[in-house]
Amino acid sequence: MNRRPLFIEQARIVDPSRGIDEIGTVVVAGGQIAAAGASALNQGAPEAAERIDGRGKLVIPGLVDARVHVGEPGAEHRETIESASRAAAAGGGPPFVMMPDTQPVIDDVALVEFVRRTARDTAIVNVHPAGAITKGLEGREMAEFALMAQAGAVCFTEGRRTVDSALVMRRALTYARDFDAVIAHETHDRALAGQGVMNEGLFASMLGLSGIPREAEVIPLERDLRLAALTGGRYHAAKISCAMSAEAIARAKAAGAGVTAGVSINHLSLNENDIGEYRTFFKLSPPLRAEEDRQAMIAALADGTIDIVVSAHDPQDVDTKRLPFSEAENGAIGLETLLAAGLRLVHNGDVSLMRLVETLSTAPAKLFGLPGGTLRTGAVADLAIVDIDEPWVVDVNELHSRSKNTAFEGARFQGRVLQTLVGGRTVYSRG
């Protein structure tokens, strides 16, 4: 157990919770942040502290990834809670919120406790279960929100699925409001999407693949936003992908609804052209959209319409990916490439480093009521030490995830996690 105090000198500290971007010193003791900032520059190192030369390095609060699919229980060959936690640690990102669409579905207290117990016994980062909105993800009967919340579920979501019934959604938002729970929802109108497997448009037509119109995302999203306004519930649009959705969120926020929105790093980094010759690792839900949509996502991230960025980590094996495109499953892994892909946006001048860290760490921690996301004195010492300029190329064989379906294979990144701390303990260190 590395519980020695840690003393990081002369590092660049970016802490959106205090609006700080300055050269300073970080002191970690007893699993907590003892000090972090320029004001600590003249502070002496605690006795027996491990000293780290922070010059040229960046210290940020650890990422908080609010949308991670794991194969456990039910598909452990794709990913276990343990392997996902290693991937998260290597990505600089404890803790994460685990989606409930497993087998069995995490829709009752026993399953929430199973995840918590397994995480406690095997994971090296904190894993927070999300509970299902409806029993068995069937979209009919509400799951036991209050009991699951008491057991540790941090929000409620149908994972990859959408609640089709407006009535069920209305009741879920109304009921969850009573104990301030967030309903996080991906919107996908199955009937309108039909047999679609990628974004509708010229490119899909050329490939002979059925298209999914943007309206299949926006129509149920607009419905949900109206229900959020009606009920006063806390609604989080979990994975928006197109300009129209961003406009809908902006309108709802302007009208004063308590809604938030998330976007996956994939939809900030990639577009439909990346599918190329039927590359199934780029088959995602929602589908990768046009370049204009990607640009709109970046703009919405920068202007605050979008609140958080997620990896949407979704491990899939060859048995679900090495198929003709229309038969393959959706999803790509992303825990380990989340920060590097985000830094690409910073290096390109699309968003500021402060805003990126806020949307990857501070905002999701706050939204889901999780510890972390800050380097305030007294906060839990979840942090990442990053070389913001180090160039590297993604090698799938080096990834910790059990599945290798990354959309960033061979990608050239600038910026890499050097060390990750959870509760003051080093859970990942490179080199």
Partner 1 sequence: MSAPEIFPVFRHRHLLGIAGLTPPDIETLLDRAEGFVELSRQADKKRATLRGRTQINLFFEASTRTQASFELAGKRLGADVMNMSVGNSSVKKGETLIDTAMTLNAMHPDILIIRHSSAGAAALLAQKVSCSVVNAGDGPHEHPTQALLDALTIRRAKGRIAGLVVAICGDVLHSRVARSNILLLNALGAEVRVVAPSTLLPAGVSRMGAIPFTRMEDGLADADVVMMLRLQRERMEGGFVPSVREYFRHFGLDARKLAIARQDALVMHPGPMNRGVEIASEIADGPQSVIERQVEMGVAIRMAVMEALLDPRRNDGNLAA
Where does this chain touch partner 1 (CB under 8 A) — which range of 64-72, 126-134, 207-215, 394-402?
207-215
Q: From 271, 383, 333, 267, select the one nearest 71 (Cα to Cα).
A: 333
Closest contact distance (angstroms) between CB of 77 and partner 1 is 16
Q: By CB under 8 A, is residue 322 in contact with partner 1?
A: yes
Tell me whether the omega of the peptide bond preceding residue 104 falls within 30 degrees of 0, making it cis: yes
Nearer to partner 1, 61 or 211 (CB): 211
Q: By CB under 8 A, is residue 205 in contact with partner 1?
A: yes
CA angle 240/246/327 to nearest 5° reads: 30
Instruction: Single out the residue of 53, 292, 327, 389 in contact with partner 1 (rule: CB under 8 A).
Output: 327
Q: From 307, 58, 63, 330, select the one nearest 193 (Cα to Cα).
A: 330
Q: By CB under 8 A, is residue 293 in contact with partner 1?
A: no
Q: By CB under 8 A, is residue 427 in contact with partner 1?
A: no
- CA 14 to chain CA centroid, Å, is 19
Instruction: Single out the residue of 1, 206, 254, 378 in contact with partner 1 (rule: CB under 8 A).
Output: 206
What does each C-alpha distance from 415 to 36, 197, 215, 367 come to in angstroms?
22, 33, 36, 27
Q: By CB under 8 A, is residue 319 in contact with partner 1?
A: yes
Nearer to partner 1, 15 or 200 (CB): 200
Give me the helices (H) in 123-242, please. Answer: 145-151, 166-177, 190-193, 202-207, 215-231
Nearer to partner 1, 326 or 352 (CB): 326
Closest contact distance (angstroms) between CB of 321 and partner 1 is 10
Instruction: Single out the residue of 93, 100, 211, 286 in contact with partner 1 (rule: CB under 8 A).
Output: 211
Tell me whether the omega of the peptide bond preceding residue 286 falls within 30 degrees of 0, making it cis: yes
Q: By CB under 8 A, is residue 204 in contact with partner 1?
A: yes
Q: From 363, 338, 342, 253, select the one nearest 298 (Cα to Cα).
A: 342
Q: From 24, 51, 78, 157, select the one nearest 401 (Cα to Cα).
A: 78
Q: By CB under 8 A, is residue 201 in contact with partner 1?
A: yes
Site for partner 1 in 140-199 (CB under 8 A): none
Where does this chain touch partner 1 (CB under 8 A) — which range of 54-62, 84-92, 205-213, 382-390?
205-213
Contact code string over 5-24 relative to partner 1, x by CB under 8 A = --------------------
Contacts with 138 (C-beta within 8 Å, 6 or more apart), sequence order:
none
Closest contact distance (angstroms) between CB of 318 and partner 1 is 9
Q: By CB under 8 A, is residue 208 in contact with partner 1?
A: yes
Closest contact distance (angstroms) between CB of 273 and partner 1 is 13
CA distance 149 to 405: 32
Provide the β-strand partners of residue 355.
none
Per DSSP (E only), the strands in 125-168 are 127-129, 156-157
Q: By CB under 8 A, is residue 242 in contact with partner 1?
A: no
Contact code string over 75-104 relative to partner 1, x by CB under 8 A = ------------------------------
Could you list the residues that contact partner 1 (CB under 8 A)?
A: 200-211, 277-278, 319, 322-328
